[in-house]
Amino acid sequence: MGQTAAADIATIGRISAVPAILQVIRELTGLRFAAVARVTEDSWTACAVLDQLDFGLQVGGELEVVTTLCHEIRQAHQSVVIDKASEDPLYRDHHTPRLYQFESYISVPIFRPDGRFFGTICALDPNPASLKSSTIQSTMESFARMLALQIEAEENLQKTEAALMAERKNTALREQFIAVLGHDLRTPLFAISAGAEMLLRKLPDPANQQRARHILTSARRATRLVDDVLDFARGSLGSGIPVDIAPCPDLGDALRHVISEVQNIYPQRTLRMSIGELHGIQCDRERVAQLLSNLVANAVAHGDPEGSVDVSAQIHDGQFVLSVTNQGLIAEDALPHLFRPYARPARGTPQTGLGLGLYIASQIAQSHGGKLEVRSTTKEGTQFVFSFPVQTVPGKA
């Protein structure tokens, strides 16, 4: 196996959605062998495999490319769909079905965004199957497009990481690469989300819907992480997190929506809110909602799981004051470091996320001309308070 093949196998292996894609294909088609293959002029290499046939091919396994139909797909740039090879006028005398003993087969090409051929997503089974008279081909071709974008993004990630290691002493260059990477990832993540939403609408059975929902959830979480990285890069480069300050008559509704979303994710937790009349506020509605989401998520993750999380939003003495209180306790020596990037409480259990939530919240506060403060005592618990001066909307008191 050449160095390039090994790199492509590693790239596919790092894409977490691939096993779910192969499982959806398995259940959608009924075919018991499915694979993502790297196909060149002289090699066929398995990059990912789902084998319920004991076909005997594992990741890294190779076939003589001229014995496969993928070789013809590489030349013709067209999908191949066979319901029953022994009765198919084009393939009943073909050497490939006889050699690999299959009746049903489907394979779609994967093209990189620049048009270069990468390989195929293929599936086969010794039993015949109805593949042509369904949406299976179009679904698999959608998967191929999404996978091509993700391959490109993963390769960009690896190239960027290599460059960052070489230039790790150059902080500005590192953060610029992170920002570019975040932009490059948005396109494939959008494609994956859109494809998963399409599958949710079209797949009839609950099992496949659950897998599509898992792909969608993973893509949305990755998108949030990318957004965090972009915000971190903007803040660290000195330009601050951009905000669009405008009259915000529905800020209360936006804050309530954030609490509702978190409550749906953590139904076992007690979230209480007190939101007053928020008239005359000018702010960036989405950024303030993002700040609240980060604070509430932090409170749920690190506060007392038996205690409540209390959210208050009021106008007091010409200031908009948003507070989030939980019953947890933060060590006094940790308080000065909470708003630094990658800050995490000392715990023995693994934690998700990048540790940027409080840092981004503090940057949003600064971009509004306000401040984010924290206090933590044994008696009152931990409270984060975001405040900024209320700018009266013209024409209103």
Sequence spans of domains, the chain: 3-222, 246-389
Give buried/exposed letters for 61-74 (b at 16+ CB in 10 A, else e): bebebeebbbbebb
Our CA dihedral for 120, 123, 124, 128, rounded to 10 degrees, sits at -120
Full-model pTM:
0.47
At 174 the pLDDT is: 57
The C-alpha angle 362, 369, 386, rounded to 5 degrees, equals: 45
d(CA 199, CA 193): 10
At 209 the pLDDT is: 79
User: For residue 295, what are its two tokens?
Assistant: 């604070």
At 80 the pLDDT is: 96
Q: What is the SS3 assignment for 33?
A: strand
What's the burial of 109, exposed, middle or buried (CB within 10 Å: 0-12/13-18/19+)? Answer: buried
Domain 246-389 belongs to what topology?
Heat Shock Protein 90 (3.30.565)
Query: What are residue 253's phi and psi, to 5 degrees?
Result: -65, -40
CB contact at 8 A, 110 and 121:
yes
Q: What is the mean pLDDT of each run of 10 residues along the chain (397 residues)?
A: 82 92 93 96 95 93 95 94 96 95 96 94 96 89 93 89 70 62 68 81 80 76 72 64 88 92 87 91 91 91 90 93 92 86 54 70 91 92 93 50
Question: Which residues make Cβ contacts (< 8 Å) with residue 317, sequence separation at least 6?
Answer: none
Domain 3-222 belongs to what topology?
Beta-Lactamase (3.30.450)
Strands 308-316, 270-275: pairing is: parallel
d(CA 322, CA 303): 18
Identical topology for domains 3-222 and 246-389: no
Q: How many CA atoms lie less than 13 Å away from 327 in the CB half-sphere?
A: 10
At 233 the pLDDT is: 66
Question: Which residues make Cβ contacts (< 8 Å) with residue 367, sequence separation at least 6?
Answer: 240, 241, 242, 243, 284, 287
Question: Left if phi > 0, otherwise alpha if psi is -120 to 50, otherwise beta: which for 59?
Answer: beta
CB contact at 8 A, 196 and 210:
no
Q: What is the largest CA-CA distance in the chain?
A: 86
CA dihedral sign, ordered 298, 302, 305, 308: negative
